[in-house]
Amino acid sequence: MDILKHNLAIDFMGKRRYAVILSCLLVVVAIASMATRGFNFGIDFTGGTLIEVGYPQPVDLEEVRSVLVDGGYTDAQAQNFGTSRDVLVRIAPREDMANARLSEAVLDALRKSHPGVEMRRVEFVGPQVGEELTEQGGLAMIYALIGILIYIVARFNFRFAPGAVIALMHDVLIVMGIFSIWQIEFDLTVLAALLAVIGYSLNDTIVVFDRIRENFRKMRKGAPQEIINSSINQTLSRTLMTSLTTLVVLVSLFIFGGEVIHSFSIALILGVVVGTYSSIYVASTASLALGISKADLMPVKKEGSEQEEITH
C-alpha cells in the first residue's frame, strides 16, 4: 500500500462537479422520501409491547407470524432473538386492551399451536416515551454537529469547519433516506449507529484535513486544487484499508448477528461507504469552494520572532 500512496495521482478535485451533482441528487431524494414516506419506526419510538417467548424446539418465524395474524394481531412483528427457539414479538399499542392483558392474549394465541411456549419477558413503551426519544435523538445529533463545528474551527481553520459539517449532514441524510425509501425498521439501535457514523466519518475527514494542512505548509508550489488532490491520494490507502476492514466486521455482524441487529448493521455499512466517499469529495470540495489557501494554514508567527532569528 505504500507504493500506491506515493504513486497514485488521481484527479479527485477535477471530478468534483460530478460528485456535487450526485450528492445533491441523493440528498434531495432522501429528503423527499423522508417528507413523503416517513420512517418505519420501531417500538422504541412508536410505543407498544415487546414480548420475548421461548419455544421448546426451533420454530419457523412464518408459522409464528401466521398464528399472530389468525389471532387478530395483523400489525405484530416477530423475529428470532439469539436462537431459533427464542422469538421476539413487537405489537403496537391497542386502545381496546391494556398492555398487561395484551401480552397474556398474545401468549394464549401462540400456545394454541405450541402449548410449550414460555414467557421470558415483557416490556412496555408508552407513546409519550417514544416521542421523547425521537426529540432527544434529534437533539443529540444537532449537538454533535455543533460540537464538531467548534472542534474543527479550533483545530484547523474556519474554512474547514463548514466542509466537515456538510459532509456529516450529507452522510446522515443519505443513510436516513435509504431507511425511509426501503422502509427498514428505524429503532434506537439505528439512532446509535447514526451517531457512530458521524464519529467514523469525522475521523476519516480529519485524517484528510491533517494531510491537506501539512501539504499547504510544505509544498511551496501548486494551486490549492493540486495540493488537495495530492493530500487525498496520499491518504487514500489508509482510508480504503480502514473502510474495508471495518466493512468486513460489519458484514459479518449483519450475516451472523441475527435479525435483532440487522437494522443497526445496515446503518453502519451504509455509513462507512457514504462516509468514505464524503471524506474524499464532499468535505474537501466544500473547503476548496470556500477558498482555502496557503495563507490560511501557515502557522502564526509571534511578534519579535523575526528579530530573534536575526540575532541568532
Strands 118-125, 77-81: pairing kind: unpaired
DSSP tag of 261: G
CA within 13 Å, CB half, 10 = 15
Cα 288 to chain center, whole Å?
25
> What per-residue confidence (pLDDT) applies to 253?
92
| Cβ proximity of 162 and 286 under 8 Å | yes
- Give long-range contacts, CB 8 A cutoff, 24+ apart: 238-244: 238/1, 238/5, 238/207, 239/204, 239/207, 239/208, 239/276, 239/279, 239/280, 240/276, 241/1, 242/204, 243/204, 243/272, 243/273, 243/276
User: What is the gyration radius of the CA atoms in the chain, in angstroms?
Assistant: 26
| Cβ proximity of 53 and 119 under 8 Å | yes
Lookup: cell for 105 = 392474549
CA separation for the pair 191, 186 (Å, rounded): 8
Strands 83-91, 77-81: pairing kind: antiparallel
State the alpha helices, DSSP H only, in 156-261.
Answer: 161-182, 188-218, 224-256
- What domains can you pick out in the chain, each with its CATH number? 2-39+129-297 (1.20.1640.10), 48-125 (3.30.70.3400)
Task: Look at the alpha carbons of 69, 84, 189, 29 in this order and tell me if their dihedral is positive or negative.
Answer: negative
Q: Per residue of the chain (312 residues), what is the pLDDT tens digit?
A: 444 445 677 889 889 999 999 999 999 999 999 999 999 888 777 778 888 999 999 888 889 989 988 888 887 888 887 788 889 888 877 776 766 788 888 888 899 888 889 998 888 876 666 677 778 877 887 888 888 878 877 877 777 888 888 999 999 999 999 999 999 989 888 988 998 998 898 888 888 888 988 888 887 777 888 889 999 999 999 899 999 999 999 999 999 887 778 899 999 999 999 999 998 899 888 888 877 766 666 655 555 544 444 444
For residue 112, give the amino acid letter.
K
3-state secondary structure 90-138: EECCCCCCCHHHHHHHHHHHHHCCCCCCEEEEEEEECHHHHHHHHHHHH
CA separation for the pair 43, 125 (Å, rounded): 7
| pTM for the model | 0.81
Which burial class, exposed, middle or buried, applies to 161 when counting CB atoms under 10 A from its CB (0-12, 13-18, 19+)? buried
> Which residue in 146, 145, 151, 188 sits closest to 168, CA to CA?
145
Beta partners for residue 41, in sequence order: 186
> Which residue in 163, 238, 259 sits closest to 6, CA to CA?
238
> CB neighbours of 148 closer than 8 A, spacing ≥ 6?
164, 165, 168, 198, 202
